[in-house]
Amino acid sequence: MCLGVPMKIISREGDNIVAEVDGVRKEASVMLLDEELAVGDYVIVHAGFAISRLDQEYAEETLRMMKEIFSPEDMA
């Protein structure tokens, strides 16, 4: 199953970010988004690209619900 996951941006260099969720870090590109993004923002990461920006409350609620539904192996 392919799933876009909310992740918090922890570093940014140009169009490349490192985002994290539950201690797992992923590199992704923000070249598909036409908005300002900064360290601390939440984005949906899918297939190596940030595809949407989320507000913190919505991102955290989404992650909480995902943890209730999926096993840890499903989210890796």
Q: Judge whether 75 and 62 are in contact, CB under 8 Å.
A: no
Instruction: Give the global pTM.
Output: 0.84
User: Residue 12's domain is classified under what CATH number?
Assistant: 2.30.30.140
74 in any annotated domain:
no
Average the pLDDT over 28-37 and give the result.
95
* Full domain range(s) for residue 9: 5-69
pLDDT-derived band at 44, boundaries 50, 70, 90: very high
34 in any annotated domain:
yes
Parallel, antiparallel or unpaired: strands 5-13 and 16-21: antiparallel
Q: What is the pLDDT of residues 49-68, one digit of tens each?
A: 999 999 999 999 999 998 88
Place of tokens 């297939």: 47
76 in any annotated domain:
no
What was the pLDDT predicted at 66?
87
